[in-house]
Amino acid sequence: MSRIGTIFSPYPHPPEELRDAARAAEEAGVEELWLWEDCFRSSAWAAAAAALAVTDHLRIGVGIAPLPLRNVAASAMEVATIERMFPGRLLPGFGHGVQDWMRQVGAKAASPLTLMQEQVPALRALLAGESVTAEGRYVKLRDVALDWPPASAPRVYAAAEGPKTLALAGAVADGVVLDSRHTVDEIAAAVRTVQASRAEAGRPGRADVVAYVLTAFGPDAHDRATAVLSDRPDAADRVLAGSVSEVAEGVTRFQAAGVDDVVLLPTDEVDLAAFYSAVGQVAVAVPGAGGVS
């Protein structure tokens, strides 16, 4: 079953606004609220726990937290702790991180692909309750196992952009998070790369695909949304804008391209409660939206 989500961005919104935003999203009928960890704004895991604590049903996605900032055992402990407190409601995602920021804090990996290749399988194994021993370039574990693993391990998502990372994410992660600013055709090509790599790796089923899409509602929606992408001549093909029904129709195009979770990203100057209300209406308007696939 497909899902419709939305975003709480750490750019225009400080951490203290998250609790009210999460409540507003849940009241609007939105099923997933995604956030991310950019240096040096707010902690993904602290924010996720806070949002989960003030809601009853809302799922919280982290898309994404940078892999280089934490030892994989620490990441596993954070995810497992939150998952045990709020079973089935956390969607944890990880990525390379912005390389300039990783360099700034002394955490830049010489090979981000190798880091992901080592960390994501180790993280998935730890969350599955396994004892892990690894002697890689970045992941070095000796008989490490969580004392309190989740009763059911959550999907682990990996953020991906270029073809090499897309292929690696398909091979090692449970799902992939695709950033905004892409056309439907670009998303479809990325999905094909991810799913082909998963099949080549011998993993059953499909990778779960999450895609952010810049979205605006209202009479001036097209102008507001395309203004964010003013450097792109085809900006109108990279956003969703207009009425609830127009946005819902656009969502179905992304779903047809293979996206399981279309996550609607608001522009910066927007009333979040009103935006989340419109997202909730989109979820009602799109057949089959809602629920975890």
Write out pLDDT tens, residues 208-248: 999 999 999 998 999 999 999 999 999 999 999 999 999 99
Q: Contact at 8 Å (CB) between 4 and 30?
A: yes
- What pLDDT score was predicted for residue 291? 39
pLDDT tens readout for residues 162-194: 999 999 999 999 999 999 999 999 999 999 999
pLDDT digits (tens, 9 = 90+) for 250-277: 999 999 999 999 999 999 989 999 999 9
Is residue 80 over pLDDT 70? yes
Percent of the chain with pLDDT over 90: 96
Tokens of 98: 């912005």
Q: How far is Cα 189 from Cα 232, in angstroms, rounded to an integer?
A: 19
Q: Which of 212, 202, 148, 150 lies closest to 177, judged by CA?
A: 212
Round to whole Å and give the CA distance between 187 and 211. Answer: 8
- Separation of alpha carbons 240 and 180, rounded Å: 11
Tokens 């996206």 correspond to: 259
Q: In this model, does residue 290 exceed pLDDT 70?
A: no
In the numeric block, the tokens 């059911």 are attached to 152
Q: Say if CB 282 and CB 244 are below 8 A apart.
A: yes
3-state secondary structure the chain: CCEEEEECCCCCCCHHHHHHHHHHHHHCCCCEEEECCCCCCCCHHHHHHHHHHCCCCCEEEEEEEEHHHCCHHHHHHHHHHHHHHCCCCEEEEEECCCHHHHHHCCCCCCCHHHHHHHHHHHHHHHHCCCCEEEECCCCEEEEECCCCCCCCCCCCEEECCCHHHHHHHHHHCCEEEECCCCCHHHHHHHHHHHHHHHHHCCCCCCCEEEEEEEEEECCCHHHHHHHHCCCCCCHHHHEEEECHHHHHHHHHHHHHCCCCEEEEEECCCCCHHHHHHHHHHHHHHCCCCCCCC
Q: Any bridge partners for residue 94, and if so which? A: 65, 158
Cα three-residue angle 14-15-17, rounded to 5 degrees? 75
| Strands 132-135 and 140-144, sheet pairing | antiparallel
pLDDT class for 289, splitting at 50, 70, 90? confident
Q: Token pair for residue 129?
A: 């309750």
Burial class (CB in 10 A: 0-12, 13-18, 19+), 198: buried
Domains of the chain and any CATH numbers: 3-285 (3.20.20.30)
pLDDT of residue 288: 79
pLDDT of 293 above 80: no
Per-residue confidence (pLDDT) for residue 138, from 0 to 100:
98
Query: Do 234 and 265 contact (CB within 8 A), yes or no?
Result: no
What is the per-residue pLDDT for 1?
A: 61
